[in-house]
Structure 1
């Protein structure tokens, strides 16, 4: 998807260069300076500026959505993790097990990734990546506050963690695990930190619903880790036997 978007950017740029040459060529050959200025005025104010205003409106709408509240929740579900979240946990089991197998096993870190990917599913994160080059040009002041990746860290924090990261890095569970763990360390969060304090430091504010989801995710990660350890022990005993 991102390749298609960037290819579109390139094709639009090439098409604009082509039109800039062929559109002005007849005026230059005929010395029609008055007609040329009239056409330039029409093209500039009727197309370029108008298109720019439309782009600005669209970008503002998307940026408000992307940079807005990451975890809106209605009052009716504020105290009960929805069934969709449980489904999200099961869908995420593969990459969770990959982290555990690779010895990236802090339940609190993985739980944060699970909650963040619940509020920011894959299609939204890809939209964020597509929006990054646009925001960088038209809303530079907001660009550094754009939250991206599975960990949903702001770009300014990602840049502290590592530079020259690609969208593929933002979707890599291990990279996000390490970024999340490092961010928690910056804020003095340890394994024994209470859930309320941990989630408040990670998100910057206290959210009851977020904390409840975090606790549910952490308990689930512990269960998955225990199952994985039992499976590993069974395989080990059968191999030695």
Structure 2
């Protein structure tokens, strides 16, 4: 397969040259261009693999970097680095959106800058590197591309859901309960609305590109309403 110039540019940013350029092309191909073909022609399966590769690489790095941290602190740092927003930020840093292979309608609707699409593609790239070169190469890509984010978060704030649970317990209230009350949008770019309820308190809602993000937004909304949101870090 002839290696397009744009592939060379992206490989330079990744710090990895593919032995099989077809894997890179597949990692860049969004499901919107599937056109009836089975999933092996787009990046969804590579995303599945890349998600696990990223998780292991980040967990290993944090374990070595913070030998005295508690499991809870490691988990918070981990969640900040593997969540969709972090992956999308890495994708934007390397200009990944310019290289994505999208359907015309998805491209026209701003797909090259959608957080969900960019995050999925970043994970798919890691999956492709893993298949092409093994875990050591994939880990090297993670360390290079995620290093700046890790250094930018020296102290990780408690996420909104954890903060809400801690606040509820401190107030002697029941634990928060979350429900997804709405799901809109196409399968490849859904929008969720979640509601959080604590007995004795009015419910609060939040929206996001995933159930987790929507639940975090709902927790943040309730905390803000109760006057404690200012103490919570970025969710």
User: For the superposition of Structure 1 and Structure 2, which TM-score range results when normalised by the shorter chain?
Assistant: under 0.3
Q: Which has the higher helix share?
A: 1
Quick one: higher RCO (CA 8 Å, sep 6+), 1 or 2?
Answer: 1
Q: Which has the higher strand share?
A: 2
Tell me the TM-score normalised to structure 2 length.
0.28
Q: Computing the radius of gyration over CA atoms, which structure comes out larger, 1 or 2?
A: 1
